[in-house]
Amino acid sequence: MIEGREAASGRRVWGVAGLLEAVSQSLAERFSVVVVGGELTGFTRAASGHCYFGLKDADGLSASLRCAMFRRAAGMLDFTPADGALVELRGRVAVYEPRGELQFIVEAMRRAGAGTLYEQFLKLRERLAAEGLFDEDAKRPLPALPRRIGVITSTAGAALHDVLTALARRAPQVEVVVYPSLVQGAEAPPALVNALRIANARAEVDLLLLVRGGGSLEDLWAFNDERVVRAVASSGLPVVCGVGHETDVTLCDLAADLRAPTPTAAAELAAPARDNLLAELAALARGLTLRLDHRLQTLGQRLDRLALRLARPSDALARQRRLLELLAQRAAVAPGRRVELQRQRLDHLAQRRERAGRDLLRRQSVRLDGLQARLLALDPQHVLARGYAWLDDGQGGAITSVQALQPGRKVRAVLSDGSADLQILRVLPSPQG
């Protein structure tokens, strides 16, 4: 009911629903469609697809406007909204009647550049990265079995409760030392630096957890402060940073030795589960027992064999006696056997020499017969026996050409059974000569 009822005094008295409806209608008439610009903060997307967030002025003023963007409009976004982004929203002003809150119903969103804080974040990240504060090579491994863990956080926040609960459930054997510090506001950075300094000076823990719960970019800004980031990077103790929710990333996350998505995850990453350690220890104990049993069984069998050998020394003496007898027999037989072998070798060599002599004599006889046959074939007497004669000059020199003959010259003819003196009457050279 928009119109209020008349009170007894004559003044109008509004019902809550009626007043809110009237205000909502007035806003709709005055601000039907408007465009507002600002910086996103606390952006969340529900499972239904609707988006809820705050919008504040980029100049850092405290004014903030609650916004709702329903699934249909959110499905038309061409970018992923994030805290710190500077955007322009088109929509209408309305009243959320169940809580009586002013809200802006967003029908469209477009980017208008990065927010002031986000710009500072990107510039500082780039500068510190260039100095090597975020290098992976500088990261140190965490202790495998920490005995005492330090926690730097606010004692009033939920992060400390989450860490203590996780450690009590997962690793109750680990002691916890809390170094209280502010985690939000202008005084938070020096407080965090001082807590890191105290923890390193005392050196009473094995590693540090730097944690706090989730929030907007402004809420987490202390963990982007350059002083805090440098203190984390220069810490002598390993640092696990678990700030905000899984999607939140601060510069301390980049400078720490290990980043955890949440405070609970930081506690889980810092200390191994006690049940896992006990299971591993039990497995090692079983393995040690099995190896010890096997070793004892092996030594027992060896001892049994040695005991058997000691129980009957006569067997060993008998074996040695048989061995000595065998060696004596071999020593007695060895000289005669060696002489016999040498004799057989000499007989074999004699036979080879005799066969070689006979073979040589036979080959020489064959060669001699061949030479005799060749000699006989060349004997002039054989040629003369076939009816030939040869002439000489009377002094034993052979005449082989008619050129050496003249009519009237005396020569001697040698035949197979004698010789005759002859006189040349006429010389007739061969027509071919």
Mean pLDDT of the chain: 85
Q: Which residue carries 């003819």 as its tokens?
A: 413
pLDDT tens digits, 154-185: 998 889 999 999 999 988 989 999 999 999 88
Q: What average pLDDT does this structure show over 77-91?
A: 85
d(CA 163, CA 157): 11
| Under 8 Å between Cβ of 245 and 210 | no
pLDDT tens digits, 383-418: 777 778 878 877 778 877 877 788 888 888 888 788
d(CA 406, CA 424): 7
Provide the percentage of residues in the chain whose pLDDT is more than 90. Answer: 33
Domain boundaries, the chain: 31-114, 120-132+146-272, 383-423
d(CA 167, CA 393): 145
Q: Which residue carries 């070793």 as its tokens?
A: 295
| CA proximity to 240, closest of 218, 265, 223 | 265
d(CA 34, CA 348): 129
pLDDT tens digits, 293-307: 889 888 888 888 887
d(CA 116, CA 39): 8
Q: 242: which DSSP letter?
A: E
As to burial, measured by CB atoms within 10 angstroms (0-12 exposed, 13-18 middle, 19+ buried), residue 129 is: middle
Which residues make Cβ contacts (< 8 Å) with residue 419, sequence separation at least 6?
Answer: 412, 413
Size of the chain, expressed as the number of residues it contains = 433
The phi, psi pair for 85, rounded to 5°, reads -75, 140
132's tokens: 């090597």
pLDDT tens digits, 233-251: 999 999 999 998 877 789 9
256, HSE (Cβ side, Cα atoms, 13 Å): 26
CA distances from 102 to 34, 44, 99, 291, 414 (A): 15, 18, 9, 74, 166
> Helices in 131-261 by DSSP H: which ranges?
158-170, 188-202, 226-233, 251-255
| CA proximity to 235, closest of 220, 254, 251, 257 | 257
The phi, psi pair for 213, rounded to 5°, reads -75, -175
pTM beyond 0.85 = no
- At the top level of CATH, the class of 120-132+146-272 is alpha beta
d(CA 107, CA 404): 150
Q: Which residue carries 């390993």 as its tokens?
A: 238
| Under 8 Å between Cβ of 241 and 112 | no
d(CA 27, CA 361): 146
Assign 89 to helix, strand or coil: strand
DSSP bridge pairs for 179 = 152
| Under 8 Å between Cβ of 24 and 66 | no
pLDDT tens digits, 342-378: 888 888 888 988 888 888 899 999 999 888 888 877 7
CATH superfamily label, 31-114: Nucleic acid-binding proteins (2.40.50.140)
d(CA 185, CA 183): 7
Q: Does residue 120 register a pLDDT over 90? A: no
| CA proximity to 218, closest of 258, 253, 248 | 248
Q: Which residue carries 């202790």 as its tokens?
A: 143
d(CA 402, CA 60): 151
How would you classify the pairing of strands 34-45 and 51-56?
antiparallel
pLDDT tens digits, 314-336: 777 788 888 888 888 888 877 87
Q: Which residue carries 């007695």 as its tokens?
A: 332
d(CA 269, CA 254): 16
| Under 8 Å between Cβ of 128 and 226 | yes
d(CA 142, CA 240): 9
Give a three-class secondary structure readout of 125-150: HHHHHHCCCCCHHHCCCCCCCCCEEE
352 or 60, greater pLDDT: 352
